[in-house]
Amino acid sequence: MEVLLAKANHAFTDCFKIAETLRAMANDTEEQVQVEKNEESYLIQLAGRTTPKGLHCLSIRLTTEYLLLQPEERQFPNQHKLQDLDFYHYAVFSDEILACAVVVNSTTASAKEPEKIVFHVVTDSLNLPAISMWFLLNPPGKATIDVQSIENFEWLSTEYSSALKEQNSNDPRYTSALSHLRFYLADIFPALDKIVLFDHDVVVQRDLTGLWGVNLNGKVHAAVETCHESEASFHSMHLFMNFLDQFSAKRLNASVCTWAFGMNFFNLQEWRRQNLTNLYRDYLQLGLKRPLWKTESLPLVWITFYDQTVALEKSWHAFGLGHNSGLSQGDIEHAAVIHYDGIMKPWLEIGIAEYKGYWSKHVQYDHPYLQECNIHE
């Protein structure tokens, strides 16, 4: 024992200093791990916002072909159906070619009466030629389609654009005009009374005509709720709104149920009657003057349609495929619409592998342009 103690004293002359050294090493390691986590998060965000080379190639190829067309060759057929109330109208606002193609293809493929479907695609002027050319080359079967540019809506004021730029967010999902265009739905389609609005990262798996039979009880909107704490999709109003502000505290209920965007059904007549577009403008301007919510558009959606939403059954819309790898396969396969909300979109390399098949089966990978641009599963 004496020999062992002597050896220990010789080897560890200052245990306190050794403990301090080990503690410092542990702290340095934790800091390094945090730095690497931050770098990983940044790279994922960057990958999510960067257009892959193949999609960039496809856009250029389609744009070139479109510019060679004569004006009369750029027209889509059946334009008389665009304002016909006897048809089922769907809208998607997007600047992604293949994303739009999958939304349209999956909707028509799942429909019992595709000839009664009218699709309204709205994009920006930069992507209008490419998206138009894609659907001219690949018409959606018996369905009708129209592609417009947001720049064609001259009634969108410059104040609207400047208000978006004033928002303190680097995320284009919350500052792009296409993202906020949803609040002008009733103005974009003045002749329509009902419409389904899709995000461009959804896949339709079931016929959706049942939505037109939903009783809105005098309200404007129907959507699947996201207020169940036991579910991964849970969103609470108080996490996004600033209830320390008197405006929020007096007018809103912190425990009110939230709901998802991605697949939403709107009664445009009731929207116009209640003048919700002007209400949105008021909230947007108020939010620039005082901290009512975090810098993203979701809380703005919730308060604009506050007490104007009817809950749909959960099976209408499954979400989380763009950020949650632990979703139930049964919930995904039984959903009418699945939604790749989040940064990991199915057309990106960072997309969650086990979910990509639901999306990719609606992509024409044998199309010559996709082959030329090396776009594959």
List the domain boundaries for the chain: 1-49, 51-371
* pLDDT for 306 beyond 80: yes
Of the ranges 65-69, 179-183, 251-255, 326-330, which is most confident? Answer: 65-69
Could you read off the pLDDT of 119-151 as tens digits, one per residue? 999 999 999 999 999 999 999 999 999 999 998
Cα separations in angstroms, 175 against 170, 262, 298, 345: 8, 17, 12, 19
- 98, HSE (Cβ side, Cα atoms, 13 Å): 26
Mean pLDDT within 71-91:
96
Least confident interval from 106-115, 272-281, 355-364: 272-281
Give the model's pLDDT for residue 289.
Answer: 77
Mean pLDDT within 343-351:
91
Q: CA geometry: angle at 16 spanning 13 and 17, to 5°?
A: 75
* pLDDT for 343 beyond 70: yes
Mean pLDDT within 264-269:
97
* pLDDT for 232 beyond 90: no
Give the model's pLDDT for residue 173.
Answer: 56
Least confident interval from 123-127, 135-139, 249-253, 370-374: 249-253
Radius of gyration of the chain (CA): 25
* pLDDT for 233 beyond 70: no
Could you read off the pLDDT of 7-61 as tens digits, one per residue? 766 666 566 677 777 788 788 788 777 777 666 655 555 544 566 899 999 999 9
Under CATH, what is the fold of the domain 51-371? Spore Coat Polysaccharide Biosynthesis Protein SpsA; Chain A (3.90.550)
Mean pLDDT within 94-115:
96
% of residues, the chain, pLDDT over 90: 56
Could you read off the pLDDT of 157-208 as tens digits, one per residue? 555 555 555 555 555 555 677 878 888 999 999 999 999 999 999 999 999 9
* pLDDT for 244 beyond 80: no
Q: Do 145 and 119 contact (CB within 8 A), yes or no?
A: yes
Q: Which amino acid type is present at position 108? A: T
Q: Name the pairing type of β-strands 263-267 and 202-204.
A: unpaired
Task: Please list the residues that pair with 337 across neighbouring strands.
Answer: 204, 317
Give the model's pLDDT for residue 4.
Answer: 76
Q: Residue 360 corresponds to which tokens in the numbers above?
A: 């990719």
3-state secondary structure at position 53: helix
Give the model's pLDDT for residue 335.
Answer: 96
Mean pLDDT within 299-328:
89
pTM: 0.83
Residue burial 260-289, b: 16+ Cβ < 10 Å; e: rest: bbbbbbbbbebbeebebbebbbebbeebee
Cβ partners under 8 Å of residue 95, min gap 6? 123, 124, 126, 127, 178
